[in-house]
Chain A
Amino acid sequence: MMQQYTRLFKSKRVKICLFIILSFIFMALFADFISPYNPLETDLSKSCRPPSFEHLLGTDELGRDILSRIIHGSRLTLTISFVATALGAAAGIFFGVISGYFGGIVDTIIQRITEILLALPGFLLAIMFVAIMGSNLWTVIISVAISMTPSFVRMVRGLTLQVRELEYVLAAKQLGVNDIKIMFNHIIPNVSPTIIAQVTLNLGTSILFASGLGFLGIGVPPPAPEWGTMLGTGRAYIFYAPHLIISPGLSVFLLVLSFNIIGDRLGEIIASK
């Protein structure tokens, strides 16, 4: 198992991606120290300045330093991405394992609900959810999490169905190990590799999702420097000051790309096992 992960890091691509992700994490952690300006400090007289030595990535429509906003924005983006994925995956694992392991009526109910949620495009669900709860960091996180939960449930349930029929699970049952322990000790660890790959991919997807909400203007509320919101705002200035959308767009792209490459590689390794 450890070998799989060492194999992961043998790839050069993965190393680069990991480096990118770690740099964003570093930026997020030390944003207060490394960002050259206060990301919220407006100066209307300096609005929409193109990149210069003073402002490496230029300034935005209110004269705020874009680099500082990107740096501080990584905090939001990574928070949303990690927390939402963690919540979504946790819920997915919980319901998926229960549904797959116990079967019967519990399974039917969970499956029906999953189907209902899957029949509704996740993005619309998120739009409604944000509309109900008002947009703030938490509603964005929760709506991203909710929209990814059903497919997690599906996947985990499928894996659980396979694992629960395996001999070592049957043997544990015959020994009289209780269901909770079987789920925690046997099922979850054995479905986890596939889940980990999926989670990695979802880290990327959730960023696209959250920044999509931001782009539509219903993401993390202003003046927070969320990348998607920056993109959505910058879009109004696309001809006048294209630099407003270049760096947030690129940041989203790079981070998502890195998560996707790592997730893909993980998936390959797990499949090749």
Chain B
Amino acid sequence: PQLQPTTTTPSSTTTSLTSSPTTTSSTPPITQKVLRIAIGIDADTLDPHGQTTTLISNIMSFITEPLFYYNEKGELIHYLAESYSVSSDGLKVTVTLKKGIKFQDGYPLNATAVKLTFDRLLNPKVKVPSRYLLDALNSTEIVDQYTVRFNLKYAYAPFVRTLTTWYIISPLAYQKLGEENLGKTPIDLGTGPLKFKEWVKGDHITLVRFDDYWGGPVKFEEVVFKIVPEAQTREAMLLSGEVDIVYQPPPADLPKLNATAGVKLAINPSTRVMTVNINTQRGPLKDARVRQALNYAVDKEALIKNVLFNLATLADSPVYPAFFGYSPQKVYEYNPEKAKQLLAEAGYSSGFKLTLMVPTGRYIFDRQVGEALQSYLSKVGITVELYTPDWPTFVQSLIGQNYTSTPWDLCYVGYGMTTPDADAVLYPVFHSSQWAPGKFNTMFYKNERVDKLLDDARREVDESKRLQMYAEAQKIIWEECPWIFLYFQNFVLAHSDKVHGLVVYPYETFDLRWVYATQ
């Protein structure tokens, strides 16, 4: 059966979330008191700022909330923030907070809390994995009780959009716990609809309803996140009725699940763009024609359909469509003849050998995709050897090496972006100042025009000019092919049909605020 991405969520709100997006249906259903969700990994820490995985960060978002957030289309909406303004030089961003919001520990949401949060984020002693997003931030100042100002080091247009990442924590709770215990002991520290109840390591995390939630209390009393690393097991638990919602069920079983009575699937595109990085400074790969040939050699649609069970959406730009600055390009169609021709033009008609690095178990069917890519490339005369290290080794090999020392020529990798702005993808990945080691231009791609466009676009306050710049940059990148452009991965939740009101965002996250379950 064909599966198309579906959206289970009804119409969205743009600026506030005072009302549930559900159709305010007539009969209030009998609700289940406890919601049980099977997830794949356990939290390492409960520190809202210390998260490295989308999933746990997602769970944190039920407890603590950011100033801005996004809706299910990926568009920016206001959350704890009432409004914002940017100074003309782009160096000062002022945010006004909503009034009357209380933290779970009773502390009122005010500028102090915001400043404390951002001061903590900038404190180098604190482990903040995504701190790079705050590179532009210099300091935070309190303007009045409900207004804060962010002073930037340089004009950085996407700044407001990065604020979706940072959860505001209660100064009271912070004081109570102290820096060293934050994250180890569950405590009421956010403004979100759910509070910590229990964390049994390796087994489950339980949250309970926060009755005074500013957006109105949720419709269940408790949610248990059961930690079940095996996708198969998670699925079986759903089928046997042990859980209500399953995070990322095994992709291969989706057709079957879809056909199973009582089970529903929520499949949504995500911002995670999957690509094959090409080391553009090495051998035949220096030649753009060769890189184009690689793009022509791969049947992306077949990959999506047969290997990924439609769990991906073909990419026509490195930038996610809902992001600011997205500009669609013409997809490289599957054309092995053209690929061979391009290779011949470049003088490689007899083929050559490459190493493709693929992580295992990190992305949907990553190893299978690797094998399929290998097979496709072999059909145009390129011999590919697979290298499948575990994740830490993979990361090390990806960003810990310079262009001569990478143990790979091609690398299958995904970039999940949380800032809905083209800059978030293009600057760190394609700007030549960002070459690895230590940074993310792991293709060692360099194009002066692109560099200039990206530099300028960052500082430009005028949004239409920015759009133009990004459009040009994307065009050049698309033509020069430092990637084999593949697809955006889809994100799946499976749930019992008794669960209603589940909202899924394109950031591989979901929202429980409107969820209710009938018995």
Contact = CB atoms under 8 A, between A and B. Distances in A.
B253 A240 contact: yes
Contacts of A41: 375
Contact of A239 (B253, B299, B365, B371): B253
Contact-size category for B: 20 to 34
A117 to B, nearest CB: 23
B360 A47 contact: no
B493 interface: no
Given A63-B306, A135-B388, A42 B372 contact: yes
Contact of A131 (B231, B250, B374, B393): B393
B389 A217 contact: no
Interface in B263-303: 299, 302-303
Contact of B306 (A47, A223, A240, A241): A47
A44 B302 contact: yes
Contacts of A240: 252-253, 255-256
A36 interface: no
B367 A222 contact: yes
A239 B390 contact: no
A265 interface: no
Interface in B234-262: 235, 250-253, 255-256
Interface in A183-225: 217-218, 221-223
B74 interface: no
A135 to B, nearest CB: 7
Contacts of A51: none
Contact of B303 (A44, A131, A223): A44
Contact-size category for A: 20 to 34
A223 B367 CA distance: 9
B252 A223 contact: no
A79 interface: no
Contacts of B361: 217
Interface string B345-388: 00000000000000011000101101110110000000000111
Interface stretch (A100-108, A140-148, A165-173, A229-237): A229-237
A21 interface: no
B386 A222 contact: yes
B401 interface: no
Contact of A222 (B250, B256, B371): B371
Interface string A23-62: 0000000000000000011101101100000000000011
Nearest to A46: B306
Contacts of A249: none
Contacts of B256: 239-240
A44 B307 CA distance: 7
Contacts of B307: 44, 47, 61-62
A221 B387 contact: yes
Contacts of B374: 223
A168 to B, nearest CB: 53
A221 B232 contact: no
Is chain A's interface secondary structure helix, strand, loop, or mixed overall?
loop
B387 A42 contact: no
B372 A44 contact: yes
Nearest to B360: A217
A134 B408 CA distance: 14
Nearest to A132: B393
A217 B371 contact: no
A94 B307 CA distance: 49
A86 B9 CA distance: 61
Contacts of A238: 232, 250, 253
A217 B388 CA distance: 9
A244 to B, nearest CB: 9
A45 B306 contact: yes
A217 B367 contact: yes
Contacts of B365: 61, 236
Given A44-B372, A233-B367, A239 B388 contact: no
Contacts of B389: 134
A165 to B, nearest CB: 49
Contact of B388 (A40, A62, A222, A235): A222
Given A47-B306, A62-B371, A222-B370, A236 B231 contact: yes
A241 B390 contact: no
Interface in B27-73: none
Contact of B375 (A61, A62, A135, A241): A62
Contact of B252 (A40, A131, A221, A239): A239
A44 B387 contact: no
Given A62-B371, A134-B389, A223-B374, A239 B306 contact: no
B50 to A, nearest CB: 26
Contacts of A135: 388
B390 A236 contact: no
Contacts of A40: 375
Contacts of B252: 48, 61, 236-237, 239-241
A96 B360 CA distance: 39
B233 to A, nearest CB: 11
A42 B371 contact: yes
Which of A40, A61, A223, A239 is the most central at the interface, judged by chain B CB atoms within 10 Å of its CB? A239
B359 to A, nearest CB: 10
Which of A47, A135, A236, A238 is the most central at the interface, judged by chain B CB atoms within 10 Å of its CB? A236
Contact of B390 (A61, A131, A237): A131
A238 to B, nearest CB: 6
Interface in A115-138: 131, 134-135
A217 B303 CA distance: 21
Contacts of A62: 306-307, 368, 371-372, 375
Contacts of B255: 240
Nearest to B251: A236
A218 B390 contact: yes
A48 B375 CA distance: 17
A46 to B, nearest CB: 8
Nearest to B385: A221
Contacts of A241: 252
Interface in B458-492: none
Interface of B: 231-232, 235, 250-253, 255-256, 299, 302-303, 305-307, 360-361, 365, 367-368, 370-372, 374-375, 386-390, 393
Given A62-B368, A222-B371, 13 more contacts: A44-B299, A134-B389, A218-B360, A221-B388, A222-B370, A223-B375, A223-B386, A233-B368, A236-B365, A237-B252, A239-B252, A240-B253, A240-B255
Would you list the 7 A-B pairs with minimal beta carbon distance, nearest first?
A: A44-B306, A237-B252, A42-B375, A240-B252, A44-B302, A239-B253, A223-B371
26 contacts: A40-B375, A42-B371, A42-B372, A42-B375, A44-B306, A47-B307, A61-B252, A61-B307, A61-B365, A62-B306, A131-B393, A217-B360, A217-B361, A217-B367, A217-B388, A221-B387, A222-B370, A222-B386, A222-B388, A233-B367, A235-B232, A236-B231, A236-B232, A236-B251, A239-B250, A239-B252
